């Protein structure tokens, strides 16, 4: 192969060479082709050995020069760098596989569960030059195989000290990405209200709750309908808690009406903590209590009239075993207002995404 060395330039771990002189060399990176509305992707992959028949096509893609690797000991190619980054970013329940695509790797959920992100550590990671990672929102449900984040080294060649700094930060704050499996499966429901108990109106909550639970693999083991009676509510909570119940859901009795006594019954049953009120609309009168480690959730009446409420934000976190308190309910304030779109797009919408 005839080469004019006067036309070569060493630049950031690569040697620049004219296309017509590149026959027999191997590409240092993917070369992307864009055909608007038809195709965007690598026309030539990294490592491709340039042949004479490739020269005209490369020129049609706008390439007058190509680059071959000329790395020293302190330089790393983007594909090798991103493999190191993905390995330290992926915590329990997060995986990645396959070859990098244009220097990028995608992190995926290894199983269905709740995505957890160390937000502060991720921000610190992205402050390091020449690396990046973008992700879904924190505390959102994900399914097995779903893409949760993508990472890459930004330049084609990254300096080893910079890469080592990013890797060290991710290790120090590991896990930056993880998925919590849902393990609370056995749920029981208490529906309160004299009008429902006496048959004056038909309950609609049970079907709603059952549908929401089934989406996460949980089952509604039992449903009881009780009057607005503190003792009966307390006795039923105690009976459920004494068995294999992993979470109790209550509906009705959440407002400020004097007849709404559900909270009082839960307290009488021995709840060791009770938080009433959430910074979410709809769902301000939401309640969560705990009897030891078992959550007792109170859904306000808005759960009947709105497709998405505070219950949808809280449920996956509780099923994943998290213990929420009043501070967690306050954190919903940014992003906690439903926009009441004509067609509900939740969870593909801003609601709950800042918590």
- Collapse the DSSP code of 342 into the 3-class scheme (helix H, G, I; strand E, B; otherwise coil) and give the result: coil
pLDDT of residue 38: 83
Instruction: Report pLDDT digits (tens) over 172-209.
Output: 999 999 999 999 999 999 999 999 999 999 999 999 99
- C-alpha to C-alpha distance for 156 and 67, rounded to whole angstroms: 10
Q: For residues 83-118, b (16+ Cβ closer than 10 Å) or e, as one string?
A: bbbbebbbbbbbbbeeebbbbbbbbbbbbbbbbbbb
Instruction: Report pLDDT digits (tens) over 221-239.
Output: 999 999 999 999 999 999 9
Cα–Cα nearest to 50, from 13, 11, 78, 21: 21
Low-confidence ranges of the chain (pLDDT < 50): 1-7, 9
ω into 347 cis (within 30 of 0): yes
Structural domains of the chain ordered from first start: 5-69 (3.90.105.10), 75-180 (3.90.1170.30), 186-331 (3.40.980.10)
pLDDT of residue 8: 54
Could you tell me the two tokens for 265?
A: 């019954």
Tell me how many degrees the CA angle 99-102-105 measures, rounded to the nearest 5.
Answer: 50
Query: Are 30 and 55 in contact, with CB atoms under 8 Å apart?
Result: no
Could you tell me the two tokens for 89?
A: 């970013």
Alpha helices of 119-193 — where are they, by DSSP H?
A: 119-126, 160-172
Cβ neighbours of residue 223 under 8 Å, at least 6 residues apart? Answer: 188, 189, 190, 191, 206
């Amino acid at each position: 192969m005839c080469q004019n060395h006067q036309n070569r330039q060493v630049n950031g771990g690569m040697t620049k060479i004219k296309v017509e002189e590149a026959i027999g060399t191997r590409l240092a990176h993917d070369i992307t082709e864009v055909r608007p509305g038809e195709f965007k992707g690598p026309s030539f992959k990294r490592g491709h050995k340039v042949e004479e028949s490739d020269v005209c096509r490369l020129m049609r893609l706008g390439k007058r020069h190509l680059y071959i690797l000329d790395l020293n000991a302190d330089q790393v190619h983007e594909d090798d760098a991103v493999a190191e980054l993905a390995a330290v970013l992926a915590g329990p329940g997060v995986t990645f596989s396959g070859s990098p695509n244009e220097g990028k790797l995608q992190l995926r959920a290894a199983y269905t569960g709740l995505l957890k992100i160390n937000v502060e550590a991720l921000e610190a990671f992205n402050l390091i030059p020449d690396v990046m990672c973008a992700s879904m929102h924190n505390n959102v449900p994900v399914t097995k195989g779903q893409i949760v984040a993508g990472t890459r080294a930004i330049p084609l060649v990254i300096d080893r000290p910079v890469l080592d700094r990013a890797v060290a930060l991710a290790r120090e704050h590991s896990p930056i990405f993880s998925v919590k499996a849902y393990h609370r499966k056995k749920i029981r429901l208490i529906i309160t209200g004299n009008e429902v108990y006496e048959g004056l109106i038909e309950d609609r909550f049970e079907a709603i709750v059952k549908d929401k639970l089934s989406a996460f693999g949980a089952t509604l083991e039992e449903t009881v309908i009780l009057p607005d009676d503190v003792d009966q509510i307390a006795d039923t909570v105690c009976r459920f808690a004494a068995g294999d119940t992993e979470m109790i859901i209550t509906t009705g009795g959440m407002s400020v009406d004097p007849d709404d006594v559900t909270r009082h019954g839960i307290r009488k049953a021995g709840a060791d903590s009770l938080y009433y009120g959430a910074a979410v609309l709809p769902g301000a009168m939401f309640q969560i209590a705990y009897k030891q480690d078992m959550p007792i959730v109170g859904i306000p009446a808005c759960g009947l009239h709105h497709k998405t409420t505070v219950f949808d934000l809280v449920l996956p976190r509780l099923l994943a075993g998290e213990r929420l308190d009043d501070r967690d309910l306050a954190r919903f304030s940014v992003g906690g207002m439903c926009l009441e779109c004509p067609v509900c797009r939740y969870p593909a919408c801003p609601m709950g995404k800042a918590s």
